[in-house]
Structure 1
Amino acid sequence: MKLASLKEGGRDGTLIVVNRDLSRGVRASAIAATLQVALEDWSNTAPRLNALFEDLQAGKAANAFDLEVDKLASPLPRAYEFVDGSAYLPHVERVRRARGAEVPESFYTDPLMYQATSAGFLAPRDPIVAASEEWGIDLEAEVVVVTDDVAMGVSPEKAAAHIQLIGLVNDVSLRGLIPGELAKGFGFLQSKPRSALSPVFVTPDELGDSWKDSKLHLPMRTWINGKWFGEAEAGVDMQFNFAQLVAHVAKSRPLSAGTLVGSGTIANEDTSKGASCLAEQRTVETLRDGKPETPFLKFGDRVKIDVTDKAGHSIFGSIEQVVEKYSPA
C-alpha cells in the first residue's frame, strides 16, 4: 500500500491512503488520524489501511478524491528520530581520495551514521531555503526507511522485519558550513537544515522483487534545472543494507515507531551513472581534472528526485524543489 499526509489537521497532517498510480487518495481518519499514530499501533492499523488501499484500487472507497501533490505534506511531517548513514562507500572513498586521505578499515565493517534533523520535514514541493549561496547548497538523493518500535540490541536479521515503509529523501546539505563544523569534532548542526520527503511512502510488498536483502534495487534519478544529473543504482555498492543500519542505530537504545533511517547519498563505482549530490560530482571532477567544475545550487535552481518501476511509473512520487533565498518574516 501507499500512504501520504495532507497539509491539514495540524503539524502532523492528515493520513491518507493513495492508489498505486498516485492519481487518487482517500482519508484514513477512521483508522488513524496521522501516520505517526498508525505506526505506533502498526499491527492493528496496517491491515485496516491495506484493506482501504484495496478498496481504493478497486474504485470502491467512499469519498475518494483526485490526488494533488501540492496539497501534500511529507508523509511524516515531523518525526521523533531521523538517523542518516553513508552506506555507499564509493562516495566516501572518492571524497577522501580527493583530499589525499585513506578510508579507515573500520568503515567497511562499521556504518557511518549521524543524528539528523527530524523536528520538521519539507513537503515534496516546498522550496529549499537558505540565507546565502555561499553556504554551498547541495541536494542529496537518498532512500529512507521507516520502522515500527525496535528493541535495543536487535540483530540485523530481526531488524529487517521492523522496516515497515520505504520512501525517498532529499537530505539537503550546506557544504560551505560542513568543514568548520567537522573541525570541531562534534558533527553536523548548522550544515544540515530540514530535508524533504517523497510524496508517498510504500510498504515493502509494493516493490516486489525490487526490494531484496533490505535494499531497493532501482536507479535513483535526479535532474537539476530539467537536465539529467544522475541515475545511480540504489541496490549496487551499498556496503550496509537497511537491516544492518537499523541494527547499528539500535545497538545502545531502542527506536520509537516512526524512526527514519537514511541510506546516505546513492553512489556507484561506475561514474557514468552520474551522481546523486553535487559534492560527489565535484569530487569526480577534481580527481579527473584537478579541480571541480560543477557549481553548487543557486537561488532559482530546480531539483527533481524520483524512482520509477521497471515500466517507468513513479513509485513514491517525485520530490521537486526550487532553491529560494531566505527572507525573515
Structure 2
Amino acid sequence: MKLASYQSGRDGQLHMVSSDLKLAIPVPDIASTLRDCLDNWDNLLPQLVRCQQDLNAGNLESKATPFNPARCSAPLPRATQWLDGSAYVNHVELARKARGAAMPERFWTDPLMYQGVSDNLLGPCDNIVANSAWGVDFEAELAVITDDVPMGCSAEEAHKHILLVTLCNDISLRNLIPDELEKGFGFVQSKPPSTFGPVAVTPDELGTYWQDGKLSLPMQVHFNNQPFGHPDCARDMTFNFNQLIAHAAKTRPLGRGTIIGSGTVSNKDKSTGSCCLVEQRMLEIIAGGQTLTPYLKAGDTVRIEVTTPEGQSLFGAIEQTYTGNS
C-alpha cells in the first residue's frame, strides 16, 4: 500500500495513493488520519488492501483525483517519536577523519542514535526556514514507521514491527552542532524539524528491492537542479533497520507511530556522490585542507527521491527550497 496525508488540521487527512503515484483518494470510511490508521492497523488492514487493489485496478478512478505531493504534509505530522540513527558508519568515519579524530572501534558494532523533534514534522514541499549563520544542511535518508515494539525486541524479530517506509530530509544546523555536543547532552537546537516524503509505503510494495531491513536502490539527490549524489541505500549500510529498531528498544518499548531514520545515506565509493553538503565539505578538507562548498544559501533547492531502474518513483519526491532566515 501507499499512503499519504494531505494537509488538513494538525494530523492531515489520510489518502490511499495508487502504486504508480498517479491517483489519490481519501478514505474517511476506513480512517481519517494515518495516526488513526496505525492505532487500528490490524483491524483495518483488510479494508486498506481492498482499497489499494481497487484503486490500482481503476475501479475508483471516478472518485479519485491526480495525486498532488504539494498538498501533502508529512505522513505523520505528529509522530510518537523520531529517532535518527547513523547506519552508514562510513559517513561518521569521514567526519572524524576530516577533523583529525580517531574512529572508536565500537562505532562499528553499536549504532549512534539521537531523539529529535517529533511534534511538528515538515511535509515534502515545505520550505526550509532557518538562520543562514547556523550552517543549514540537508541529509537524504530513509525512515521506517513502526507498530508497538516491545522492550528488548531482537533484531531477528524487529522486521515484524516495520509497517511503513518513507523518505526523510534530516535538516541539520551544522554550526550549532559542535557547541551542543561539547555539553555532552546531544542535539536540541541544532536539529530542527525533519522533512518526510509524500508517501509512506508498506514493505511489500518495495518488492525484492527490500531485503533484510535494507533497500537496494540509489538515493537520488539533486541540488539546485544538478545531480549531487546517488549512493545505493543498501551498500555500506553497517546497521540495517532491524538492528536500529533493536538498538532503540533495548531499554524501553517503542510506541506505535515511532519513526526511525537511517542517517545520511553514504557509500565508500565517492563516485556515487553525497547525500549532504557536510560530507562534500569533509571530502574537500581531506583532499585539499579547506572547504569549497558552502552550506545552504537563500534560494537553494534540494530534491530527494528513490526510483526503480524503470524510472518509477517509490515514495514521490521531497522538493524543498531554503528561503533563508526566519
- Normalised-by-shorter TM-score class: over 0.9
Is 1:19 matched with 2:47? no
**Residue aligning to 1:220:** 219
**Residue aligning to 2:273:** 274
Identity %: 52
> How far apart, CA to CA, are the structure 1 residues paired with 2:67 and 2:98?
45
Q: Which amino acid aligns with 1:116?
A: G
Deviation by residue 1:100-140 (Cα, 9 ceiling, x = unmatched): 1111111111110010111111111000001x211100000
- Runs of 4+ in structure 1 deviating by more than 3 angstroms, as ranges, are none
Shift of 1:324: 1.1
Paired residues of 2:118 and 2:193 also in contact (CA < 8 A): yes
Q: Aligned to 2:231, what secondary structure does the other structure show? A: strand
Q: Which amino acid aligns with 1:190?
A: Q
TM-score by length of 1: 0.97
> How far apart, CA to CA, are the structure 2 residues paired with 1:227 and 1:39?
37
**Residue aligning to 1:50:** 49
**Residue aligning to 1:114:** 114
**Residue aligning to 1:68:** 68
Q: Aligned to 2:168, what secondary structure does the other structure show? A: strand
> Which range moves more in the overlay, 28-37 or 239-248?
28-37
Q: Which amino acid aligns with 2:324?
A: K
**Residue aligning to 2:285:** 286
**Residue aligning to 1:305:** 304
> How far apart, CA to CA, are the structure 2 residues paired with 1:288 and 1:326?
32
> How far apart, CA to CA, are the structure 2 residues paired with 1:285 and 1:112?
24
> How far apart, CA to CA, are the structure 2 residues paired with 1:323 and 1:158?
40
**Residue aligning to 1:245:** 244
Shift of 1:38: 1.0
Paired residues of 1:40 and 1:149 also in contact (CA < 8 A): no
Q: Which amino acid aligns with 1:93?
A: E
Q: Which amino acid aligns with 1:106?
A: R
Paired residues of 1:75 and 1:201 also in contact (CA < 8 A): yes
Is 1:4 matched with 2:4? yes
Q: Which amino acid aligns with 1:213?
A: D
Is 1:168 matched with 2:182? no
Residue correspondence of structure 1 range 123-202 to structure 2 within 5 A: 123-130=123-130, 132-202=131-201
Shift of 1:85: 0.4
Paired residues of 1:139 and 1:277 also in contact (CA < 8 A): yes
Deviation by residue 1:124-181 (Cα, 9 ceiling, x = unmatched): 1000001x21110000000000001111111111111101100100000000110111
> How far apart, CA to CA, are the structure 2 residues paired with 1:149 and 1:47?
19
Deviation by residue 1:209-258 (Cα, 9 ceiling, x = unmatched): 11001101110010111011000110000111000100110111111111
Q: Which runs of 5+ in 1 are unaligned?
A: none
Q: Aligned to 1:320, what secondary structure does the other structure show? A: strand
> How far apart, CA to CA, are the structure 1 residues paired with 2:324 and 2:289?
31
The Cα RMSD (Å) is: 0.9
Deviation by residue 1:258-285 (Cα, 9 ceiling, x = unmatched): 1000000001100110000001110011
Q: Aligned to 1:176, what secondary structure does the other structure show? A: helix
TM-score by length of 2: 0.98
Shift of 1:322: 0.5
> How far apart, CA to CA, are the structure 1 residues paired with 2:253 and 2:104?
28
Q: Which amino acid aligns with 1:89?
A: V
